[in-house]
Structure 1
Amino acid sequence: MKLLTFSTLFPNAEKPNHGIFVETRLRYLLASGKVQSRVVAPVPWFPSAHPRFGRYAGYAKVPAVESRAGIEVQHPRYVLPPKVGMTLAPFLLAQSVKPTVRRIIDAGYDFDLIDAHYFYPDGVAAVMLGRHFNKPVVITARGTDINLIPQYPLPRTQILWAGRRAQGMITVCNALKEEIVGLGIDADRITPLRNGVDLQRFQPVDRATVRAALGMTGFTLLSVGLLEPRKAHDLIIAALPALPDTRLMIAGSGPERARLEALAQQLNVSGRVRFLGALPQTELRNYYGAADAMVLASSREGWANVLLESMACGTPVVASNVWGTPEVVAAPAAGILMAERTPQGVADAVRKLRENYPAHEATRSYAEKFSWDDTTAGQIALFDKILGEFRP
């Protein structure tokens, strides 16, 4: 079976962690030996890599073609105009990549199906491409594309248009399926296939040795994610005055860093907060394994991979009770769900976890139930069914 994997959420040489969950799922799918894929992962066009353009300069540095873990990845550019970009993005995305897709077919890779990730704009653009090239399309919904973007009328209309014309849809949790059904899509056309965790990459470490090497002392929390409002690192920082013996490490980069640093200063907890910046997964494993708990206070999550990554390293989690997270944190060995998304809610959940702290071995054992095997089998079965039914 030949796939064209299509998504703006895919790692590249400049942003190796960007959409890494899409790449990971694809790696396990390819490892089955039943699937081939070429990846088209567009990036916004930007005129220059000059430092004055800040974080946007990175887009200009992304190579046009690269190989990642033996997978060929093409990065065509698409124009995303300011202000009107969100409205026009699906059309501009589809038009920009048509020449790339045509070249892939002409070079001899006449793929069977478009495997698209993220509903808007990617899934909408993928359906446009499917109609143009006469190929079936499967769209995977991952979180914000369904739990936030449909609040805007025009994107909502386009999401419904794509959902009704795609040959299949996948959601990474049951909660997202229910939300799509609520938008007006037939439930029978939606297949929940949760993300797994890379159990080889994320494994327990020698905690005492790694803690000493990383300078961890006392009960230490780890928060992982972009420094942006949705990830709510501020709630965890604001919980520290109620947790006087607790330290916090924050792994991630983003526009909120200065505000978060100022909040830690204001609350007189800056001496107990360490900002680590963005970390590659190879380094992140050590922090997961050495921390006493990983905290995720997000306001929205489809399926938060960081939760399973932490558990796979033997470290329980404290998480907000949103969207697919209760499907991940579903046993005492996994950790605790917050009763409320507030600083007090974080503090209470941390204390509750400490009172009934699970054995690290039990947490790892819980994570081992979430291998990629079932997800891979589910994708292959769905793609086979669609290809058997599709009539060009």
Structure 2
Amino acid sequence: MLRVLTLSTLFPDATRPNFGVFVERQTAALAALPGVAVTMVAPIGMPPWPLSRGDRHAALGRLPLRERWHGLDVYRPRFAALPFTGGRFHARAMERAIVPVLDALAFDVIDASFFFPDGVAAVRLGRRYGVPVSIKARGADVHHWGRAPATARQVAQAGQGADGLLAVSAAMRGDMIALGMPADAIRVHRTGVDHARFGAVDRTAARAALGVTGPLIVAVGALIPRKGHDVVIDAVARLPGVALWIAGEGPERGRFEAHIARAGIGDRVQLLGGVAHDDLPRLLAAADVMALASASEGLANAWVEALAAGTPIVVTDAGGARELLSDEQAGRVVARDPAAFAAAIADLLRAPPRTEAVKAAAAGYSWAANAAGLHAHLAGLMAARQSG
């Protein structure tokens, strides 16, 4: 029996059902394997009173400390996330909050499914409990926290101190090596996708159900500067008769609303807000193109999900984009520029690729393969620790 403690601040809850849903799917797929027992610890950072009085933090504070979440045993300890510190003290605070939970648990290996602050805390916890530690890098957890002045040293040291490291793409692996992490410890571990859900939606039926009558571009991502929705908005402004629906929520909503109004395309662009993950297959199937102008990524799940739905993508040369789109059968990799996005979208609208060719680009991504790879990695770390 392999007893895995999975640690991730990026995990859904009743107030944020879409938050880190890919971590949930990865953990559930691992837990479904024979001979594996998984306990999920999903710490929640809370600012001190009175900053925690707002509705959002109050709702987080009311979440149970332990619950069954979609078949998983989940602990949700709270830790102090001090504002205006650049995250400098997050990992230490998380470690202190988790210890009372872990003292009552039995586990063979720690699987930190996000690099900061999770991975930093995990390395310290691994030493405390005498178990091997794996940390997975997904994107902003390394691209942002691995370069931020207050946390860069912590991220680098955690990468050097972990027993094993995972990267969502070869490009992400290269970024980790550039930060001084040992190349021989880093294994590429790709995300998964549920082909039965995303690939089974009929495009004509999806468009009819959503009232789509003309060319539709969909963007899936939080409303934050890094996702580049303003680039896609400006691209669509150059394409008469083309609609854009943006699925995601975030602090930049007001700025994007103003941007759409200035562009004079409020009749063609909709900010959908947060879309339940279960509703994404129909939304993506209804689209002609999924476009995302990210400044940085590891390997975005939205890319893979769109391809699995048979929808071509237009994306920037970020993270593993070129690993996913090895040719132009399933989409385009272009500059982070409205003109480049407009030209690529227009090209795909004019000559749509075959649906089966698009789906084939995501064929190698599945939760079964993801779970098998993660199990082999974690079991290998435990075996190495035991033999050592």
Instruction: Normalising by structure 1, report the TM-score.
Output: 0.94
The yes-or-no answer on 1:5 pairing with 2:1 is: no
- Give RMSD over aligned pairs: 2.0
Tell me how far 1:152 sits from its aligned partner.
2.2
> 1:312-334 deviations in whole A, cap 9, x for unaligned?
11111111111112212223332
* Mapping for residues 63-78 of structure 1, pairs under 5 Å: 63-78=64-79
Report the secondary structure of 1:158's partner residue.
helix
Ranked by relative contact order (alpha carbons within 8 Å, sequence separation 6 or more), the top structure is: 2
The yes-or-no answer on 1:386 pairing with 2:386 is: no
**Deviation larger for 121-130 or 178-187:** 178-187
Report the secondary structure of 2:364's partner residue.
helix
* Mapping for residues 21-40 of structure 1, pairs under 5 Å: 21-40=22-41
Structure 1 counterpart of 2:367:
372
Structure 1 counterpart of 2:340:
345
**Deviation larger for 354-363 or 163-172:** 354-363
* Mapping for residues 284-295 of structure 1, pairs under 5 Å: 284-295=280-291
Structure 2 counterpart of 1:314:
310
**Deviation larger for 15-24 or 62-71:** 62-71
How far apart, in 2, do the equivalents of 1:34 and 1:297 lie?
Answer: 41
The yes-or-no answer on 1:357 pairing with 2:352 is: yes
> 1:358-389 deviations in whole A, cap 9, x for unaligned?
11232223322222333322222222221112
How far apart, in 1, do the equivalents of 2:67 and 2:202 lie?
Answer: 35
| Paired residues, number | 386
In structure 2, the CA distance between the partners of 1:283 and 1:243, relative to structure 1 (3 Å rule), is: same
Report the secondary structure of 1:279's partner residue.
coil
Structure 2 counterpart of 1:83:
84
Q: Is the 1:50–1:57 contact (alpha carbons within 8 Å) kept by the matching residues of 2?
A: no
Tell me how far 1:50 sits from its aligned partner.
11
Structure 2 counterpart of 1:229:
225
The yes-or-no answer on 1:336 pairing with 2:337 is: no
Tell me how far 1:52 sits from its aligned partner.
6.9
Structure 1 counterpart of 2:62:
61
Q: Is the 2:324–2:362 contact (alpha carbons within 8 Å) kept by the matching residues of 1?
A: no
**Deviation larger for 376-385 or 45-54:** 45-54
The yes-or-no answer on 1:327 pairing with 2:323 is: yes
How far apart, in 2, do the equivalents of 1:390 and 1:225 lie?
Answer: 39
Instruction: Normalising by structure 2, report the TM-score.
Output: 0.94
Q: Is the 1:49–1:60 contact (alpha carbons within 8 Å) kept by the matching residues of 2?
A: no
Gaps of 5+ in 2: none
The yes-or-no answer on 1:141 pairing with 2:121 is: no
How far apart, in 2, do the equivalents of 1:353 and 1:260 lie?
Answer: 25
Tell me how far 1:204 sits from its aligned partner.
3.7
How far apart, in 2, do the equivalents of 1:187 and 1:217 lie?
Answer: 50
How far apart, in 2, do the equivalents of 1:374 and 1:208 lie?
Answer: 31
Question: More helix by proportion, 1 or 2?
Answer: 1
Tell me how far 1:154 sits from its aligned partner.
4.0
* Mapping for residues 156-305 of structure 1, pairs under 5 Å: 156-305=152-301
Q: Is the 1:225–1:252 contact (alpha carbons within 8 Å) kept by the matching residues of 2?
A: yes
Report the secondary structure of 1:145's partner residue.
helix
How far apart, in 2, do the equivalents of 1:49 and 1:375 lie?
Answer: 42
